[in-house]
Amino acid sequence: MTGADLIIRTADDREIGVRDFAGGGDEPVLWCHGAPGSRLEPAWLRQEAVTAGLRLVGVDRPGYGLSTPQPDRTIPDGVADLLLVADHLDIDRFCMVGVSTGGAYALATAAIAPERVRGVVACCAVTDMSFGPARNTMHEPQVHAVWDAPDREAAIAAAVAAYGEGFAKLLGGGMQGVLAPADAALFADRSWMGPAMEGFGELSRHGLAGYVDDRRADGAGWVTFDVAAITCPVTVLHGDEDRLCHVSHGRHTARIVPGATLVVVRGAGHFSIERHVVAELVALAGRDHLGPADAPG
């Protein structure tokens, strides 16, 4: 993997892990990873992004990779970290990618800091979990058991039971039952699997705390930010064969985000849909009313 890792310290003495893939791209893109995930998630797309003029910046949410856990964090807490990263890197305005669980963090940043966010690609993103039909598609025990736990300690125990220590149950074919054919093909592609395995240890540097805190933050739905406040262009990108986050999530998000464009890719699953992210970012950044990255807000 190329690029540089950074550690940024917060006012409450936490550390935030960042991978700035850089490479000469002029258009900064903050990447909000899935759950579990890490700042290294977009590594396999780096060269494609550089060719397209994009500068990918991956950020570990608290409890993943190099970032200190933050128990009882909210989605806006994650937004504060993302804005701190942008400030540290002297990035005024930027586009965002939010993958799976990370979609809420990208959309919340657009809602809370509209003067900073030029556009969002919500990729295979978990929608507002107050929407019952989509909530009901989430897996048990990986998700519902964590939501239903009476406290954080019990939630961590439920996550360990579902995933194993260090997410061990994701290895050795443990994902096969939830992979669309296009996802299975991606897992066999060394250009994807190589970077994915290099970053696997980053998922559980702090045990399963990051995953559990993500679930506890989104379990009640999008009650900590106002999705109606989003003013930037948003592309909701989803595969119609996603078996981890049903396409109904994307359809609902496109309905509730003002002016959002829904792009459903036939045959794409939860992981293979990422092949389309760079093209959607280029389309998003090229919309006439966005203007150059350094234009005044």
pLDDT in tens, the chain (297 residues): 578 899 999 999 999 999 999 876 679 999 999 999 999 999 999 999 999 999 999 999 999 999 999 999 999 999 999 999 999 999 999 999 999 999 999 999 999 999 999 999 999 999 999 999 999 999 999 999 999 999 999 999 999 999 999 999 999 888 888 899 999 999 999 999 999 999 999 999 999 999 999 999 999 999 999 999 999 999 999 999 999 999 999 999 999 999 999 999 999 999 999 999 999 999 987 764 444 343 333
- In 3D space, the residue among 144, 143, 127, 134 whose CA is nearest the CA of residue 222 turns out to be 127
Helix, strand, or coil (residue 225): coil
**What secondary structure letter does DSSP report for 267?**
T
pLDDT value at position 68? 98
pLDDT value at position 107? 99
pLDDT value at position 290? 47
- Asked, for residue 295, whether it belongs to a domain, the answer is no
Token digits of residue 191: 């250009």
Residue 257 is which amino acid? V
Contact yes or no for 251/261 (Cβ under 8 A): no
- Asked, for residue 78, whether it belongs to a domain, the answer is yes
Domain span at 267:
4-289
Token digits of residue 295: 């234009």
- Asked, for residue 55, whether it belongs to a domain, the answer is yes
pLDDT value at position 292? 39
- Asked, for residue 296, whether it belongs to a domain, the answer is no
- Asked, for residue 34, whether it belongs to a domain, the answer is yes
Query: How far is residue 240 from each of residues 25, 100, 117, 237, 270, measured CA to CA in Å?
Result: 31, 14, 27, 10, 9
Query: How far is residue 74 from each of residues 57, 243, 287, measured CA to CA in Å?
Result: 21, 26, 32
Helix, strand, or coil (residue 238): strand
- Asked, for residue 294, whether it belongs to a domain, the answer is no
- Asked, for residue 297, whether it belongs to a domain, the answer is no
- Asked, for residue 70, whether it belongs to a domain, the answer is yes
Domain count, the chain: 1
Q: Cβ contacts of residue 283 below 8 Å, gap of 6+?
A: 235
- Check which CATH number belongs to the domain holding 185 and give it: 3.40.50.1820
